[in-house]
Amino acid sequence: MSSGFARRGRAASWVWTASPGCGLNGRLEAEFSPSVREQAVSFVAGMADPASRYPCSSIEDDFNYGSNVASASVHIRMAFLRKVYSILSLQVLLTTMTSTLCLYFESIRTFVHESPALILVFALGSLGFIFALTLNRHKHPLNLYLLFGFTLMEALTVAFVVTLYDVYIILQAFILTTAVFLGLTVYTLQSKRDFSKFGAGLFAALWILCLSGILRLFFYSETMELVMAAGGALLFCGFIIYDTHSLMHRLSPEEYVLAAINLYLDIINLFLHLLRFLEAVNKK
């Protein structure tokens, strides 16, 4: 990730279409390929570049900060992984709880369906928190407070979207996302392969997905929706592998917030694309 989130270029594109059966003037269906959150975090990835890191570290006696996590001592590696996956677990937990509340209470669902502009508020909130994180990424505990704010905005966004889907489809997507993420994480961490060489291809595929999302506005079809959803899900499976490899081989031990954001966004985007895919399959 030496070239950073800027090169990832997850541009923003929100598409709303109406279909019968839910909400005002029918059901609102949100396209998340790619989403505003992708652009937000892409702005931060440049912070992973060694040239942008601050020169001093609390562990500089044990670790050369210009190196990566994989070359650090065992206790530093384990401490880094504990921080990353603890933060990630809390992010996923907050998102899951927020979505569950929105699904469980009918009054909240009704309010969400009657206030589609909220999605823009949440998106802008995410961008604001990400921008603040880029300026304060090494200021502890401020960076964690900003991370919480960003996660809350993302959780509200996901909660907004899941209210538009059937609970059965949501559960399927959740289980699939969990299984895929755990499987890919275990595979990547124990693998000896260098996955960094796939970065350019993943970023190129992401831009193709962006352009396809724009074309979908003018040439929508159920088949196209199915293909794009499947392609997006596969793409973010690739990003999970790439970012898991990068957190060990391209990040320093004190970039745990950046690593958690990367993986969190990969999980969210995989989940949302699986939602779209399962919905498209059911329509078939």
Tell me the pLDDT tens digit for each residue of 167-213: 999 999 999 999 999 999 999 999 888 888 888 889 898 888 888 87
For residues 213-226, average pLDDT: 79
Phi, psi of 199 (to 5 degrees): -60, -50
- pLDDT tens-digit profile of 112-163? 888 888 888 888 899 899 889 888 877 888 888 999 999 999 999 999 999 9
- pLDDT tens-digit profile of 231-276? 999 999 999 999 999 988 888 888 889 899 999 999 999 999 999 9
Whole domain around residue 226: which residue ranges?
4-283
Q: What is the 3-state secondary structure (H, E, C) of the chain?
A: CCCHHHHHCCCCCCEEEEECCCCCCCEEEEECCCCHHHHHHHCCHHHHCHHHCCCCCCCCCCCCCCCCHHHCCHHHHHHHHHHHHHHHHHHHHHHHHHHHHHHHCHHHHHHHHCCCCHHHHHHHHHHHHHHHHHHCCCCCCHHHHHHHHHHHHHHHHHHHHHCCCCHHHHHHHHHHHHHHHHHHHHHHHHCCCCHHHHHHHHHHHHHHHHHHHHHHHHCCCHHHHHHHHHHHHHHHHHHHHHHHHHHHHCCCCCCHHHHHHHHHHHHHHHHHHHHHHHHHHHHC
Give the chain's mean pLDDT.
78
Q: Is the pLDDT of residue 50 over 70?
A: no
pLDDT band at 284 (very low <50, low <70, confident <90, very high): low
Higher pLDDT, 41 or 146: 146
For residues 10-22, average pLDDT: 36
pLDDT band at 214 (very low <50, low <70, confident <90, very high): confident
Q: Is the pLDDT of residue 25 over 60?
A: no
Whole-prediction pTM: 0.77
| pLDDT score at 66 | 47
| pLDDT score at 183 | 96
Report how far apart, in Å, the C-alpha atoms of 199 and of each of 8, 53, 69, 153 are: 9, 21, 19, 28
Report how far apart, in Å, the C-alpha atoms of 229 and of each of 205, 213, 270, 276, 282 are: 13, 10, 9, 6, 13
What's the domain count of the chain? 1
For residues 37-56, average pLDDT: 43
Pick from 265, 248, 267, 273: nearest CA to 48: 248
